Amino acid sequence: MQNLIYVPDPLLRQKADKIQSVGTAEKEIAKTMMQIMLKAPGVGLAANQIGILKQIVTIFFVDQETKKEINYTLFNPNITYYSEEKIIMEEGCLSLPEQFAEIERPQNIVVEYLDENNKLIKKEVSGVESRILQHEIDHLSGKLFVDYLSSLKRNIMIKKVQKFLKNKKK
């Protein structure tokens, strides 16, 4: 089973490759990603975060209003619309353990992706789901949530992660 990778691993800064077609190998990667994400625990995971440069994202969270579990996998996700209305929410990342920051992002987005049956899905999302998808899709292009911060704040967080990982190995 793959392991999560942490900053400053260069794979987190690389662009993930588009998938030609969703096959058995991609479904297996997605299954592994879901297991890693739930064990972590996290609400989203991009394939780069386990060292695989393919455009695959998994998400899992409980909708606070409906109390329903939302979980699915996106292959080749692409955001085709960002609302002008923005919202600030706290974000964290499995690749930057114990680090959180307030990040401003669009409130609503429209995302297109392939599902596990190679069907093109177009979906409008808002709130937490929109936030998770924007965060994870950023990963696919090598962008981290700390990139929205000043370089000073970003560097402090990266140093904290390195210290955290050093202490974890002891």
For residue 95, the SS3 value is coil
Q: Cβ neighbours of residue 113 under 8 Å, at least 6 residues apart?
A: 57, 74, 75, 76, 77, 78, 120, 121, 123
Phi then psi for residue 146, to 5 deg, are: -70, -15
Question: Which position among 26, 91, 129, 136 bears the catalytic label?
Answer: 136
Give residues with Cβ within 8 angstroms of 122, minimum separation 6: 80, 110, 111, 112
Active site residue 90: no
Other residues' Cβ atoms within 10 Å of the Cβ of residue 140:
24
Token pair, residue 75, equals: 């292959």
Contact 145, 101 (CB under 8 A): yes
Residues recognised as catalytic: 136
